[in-house]
Amino acid sequence: MKLKKINEKLQDALIENGLTEANILQQETFSTIKSGADCIILSPAGSGKTTTIVLNVIQQLSGHTEESPRALIFVEDKAKVLEMEALFEKYGKYSKLEVYGVHDKGDTDYDKNYISTGIDVLIGTPNKLSDMFTTAGYNVNRLKMFIIDDADPMLKLRHETKIMRISNSITKTQRIIFAENLTERIEILADKMMLEPYLFDMDEEGEEELDEEDDDIQEEE
Would residue 143 count as lying in a domain?
Answer: yes
CA 189 from chain centre, in angstroms, equals 15
Q: What is the percentage of the chain residues whose pLDDT exceeds 90? A: 67
What is residue 5's predicted lDDT score, i.e. its pLDDT? 84
Mean pLDDT of the chain: 87
Q: What is the percentage of the chain residues whose pLDDT exceeds 70? A: 88
Q: What is the mean pLDDT of residues 187-204?
A: 91
Would residue 26 count as lying in a domain?
Answer: yes
Which has the higher per-residue pLDDT, 86 or 216? Answer: 86
- pLDDT of residue 65 exceeding 50, the answer is yes
Range of the domain at 118: 8-214
Q: Where are the beta strands (DSSP E) in 17-70?
A: 39-42
∠ CA 216-219-221, nearest 5°, is: 155
What is residue 134's predicted lDDT score, i.e. its pLDDT? 79
User: CA-CA distance, 163 to 159, in Å (whole number)?
Assistant: 6
Would residue 158 count as lying in a domain?
Answer: yes
Would residue 220 count as lying in a domain?
Answer: no
Q: What is the mean pLDDT of residues 7-33?
A: 92
What is residue 221's predicted lDDT score, i.e. its pLDDT? 30
What is residue 214's predicted lDDT score, i.e. its pLDDT? 42
Overall number of domains in the chain? 1
Q: Where are the beta strands (DSSP E) in the chain?
A: 39-42, 71-74, 99-102, 121-124, 145-148, 174-179, 198-201, 206-210, 217-218
Contacts of residue 66, Cβ cutoff 8 Å, sequence gap at least 6:
118, 120, 142
- By three-state DSSP, how is residue 55 classified? helix
Would residue 23 count as lying in a domain?
Answer: yes
State the SS3 of 144-177.
CEEEECCHHHHHHCCCHHHHHHHHHCCCCCEEEE
What is residue 210's predicted lDDT score, i.e. its pLDDT? 53
Would residue 107 count as lying in a domain?
Answer: yes
Q: Give the confidence band of 218 by pLDDT, cuts at 50, 70, 90.
A: very low
What is residue 25's predicted lDDT score, i.e. its pLDDT? 94
User: CA-CA distance, 117 to 50, in Å (whole number)?
Assistant: 26
pLDDT in tens, 156-188: 999 999 999 999 988 899 999 999 999 999 999
- The CATH number of whichever domain residue 141 belongs to comes to 3.40.50.300
Q: Give the confidence band of 1 by pLDDT, cuts at 50, 70, 90.
A: low
Count CA atoms closer than 13 A to 213's CA, side-chain side: 0
pLDDT in tens, 3-15: 878 888 999 999 9
- pLDDT of residue 212 exceeding 50, the answer is no
Would residue 1 count as lying in a domain?
Answer: no
Contacts of residue 140, Cβ cutoff 8 Å, sequence gap at least 6:
68, 69, 72, 169, 170, 173
The region of weakest confidence among 25-29, 89-93, 112-116, 197-201 is: 112-116
pTM summary value: 0.90
Would residue 151 count as lying in a domain?
Answer: yes
What is residue 64's predicted lDDT score, i.e. its pLDDT? 64
